Structure 1
Amino acid sequence: MIFRRSGVLALIAGLSFAGVSASHAQSFGGIAQGAEQGALQSVTGSSGGTSGLLGSLGVPSLSSASSGNIAGLLGYCVQNDLVSNVSSAKSTLNTLTGKSDVTSDASYASGQQGLLQLADGNQLSLSSLKAAVRKKVCKAVTSKASSLL
């Protein structure tokens, strides 16, 4: 994505030196923005209703995450103040971690580090996401964790 952006910027700069007016150069900025968004969509798989790594709302699917990973992620979310109702989230977390199969799950420790285990075996680090997306993910994690009780 960085290469595309710099390539498009080089194209704009080249056209500017070639005598293209500022208004035309600005319209190329829209092309650059569209190219950047297209590149992002190809990475995330989030174009018009299809779901990839990140769904259309920018939140990854939690359907394949184990209960241990969800509990670990909830702990991460609570610890990093990413939940709106801390007392409810802590209560849910305490109930989940009271189950032996949850804390013995290998992905529980990954979740505590903010790593979501994906269906394809890869991990998504919540810390790599923008703050607003992290909060959305934590909201979804809280909801998923509540459904596991």
Structure 2
Amino acid sequence: MKSLCKSAALAAACGLTLVAGVVSAQAAPAAAPSVAEAPVGPGPTVDNASVGNIAGLMYYCYAHDIDDDTTVRSLGRSLAKRADVKNDPAYAAGGVGKLMVGPGQMVDLTAAESDVRTASCAHAAQRGTELDDGTFLLPLQD
């Protein structure tokens, strides 16, 4: 009986159904991992994205007319010159519209609704200024 209880607990932990002491061959479908939402506005958060991913996203957002602010283009270029960005595979992913939301998790912004893309690009630009190492100077505001 103790063995059966351990098997039932193990089966439940793995999302399987235990029938008469035998683990079912059909596993229950796994739920898709949730994606953290941005604290303001629609879309996924950019808080877990690497500097490289943010730099790539800034290129994507500018090149696809989602954010046509030249500051976004300039900041993205400034971030892309950093050594830690040049070797970051997430930079290329960002450049094609993929946002890193967690370890090994990417969200494809190209498939997202327009307002989500716009909000994600705005959040990426804001995050880019936070991640800047001081080499980029923001334009003076009048």
Same structural fold, with TM-score higher than 0.5 when normalized by the shorter chain: yes
1:104 to 82, 87, 92: 87
- Unaligned 5+ runs, structure 1: 1-41, 46-51
* 8 Å contact from structure 2 (residues 66, 121) kept in 1: yes
Deviation of 1:43 after TM superposition, in Å, equals 7.4
Show the counterpart of 1:37.
Answer: none
Cα displacement (A) at 1:139: 0.4
Gaps of 5+ in 2: 1-30, 133-142
- What is the 5 A alignment of 1:31-46? none
Q: Secondary structure at the match of 1:123?
A: strand
**Which structure: greater helix fraction?**
1
For residues 58 and 89 of structure 1, what CA distance do their matches in structure 2 show? Answer: 20
What TM-score do you get using the length of structure 2 for normalisation? 0.64
Aligned residues: 101
In the TM superposition, residue 83 of structure 1 has moved relative to its aligned partner by: 0.9
Q: Does 1:71 align with 2:33?
A: no
Q: What SS does structure 2 have at the residue aligned with 1:141?
A: helix
Q: 2:42 aligns with which of 35, 52, 58?
A: 58
2:107 aligned counterpart, secondary structure: strand
Over 3 Å counting, the alpha-carbon distance change for 1:72 and 1:107 in structure 2 is same
Name the TM-score, length of structure 1 as normaliser: 0.61
Deviations 1:35-61, CA, capped at 9 Å, x for gaps: xxxxxxx9796xxxxxx4434632211
- Structure-2 residue corresponding to 1:137: 120
Equivalent residue for 1:90? 73
Identity score, percent: 28
2:26 matched residue in structure 1: none
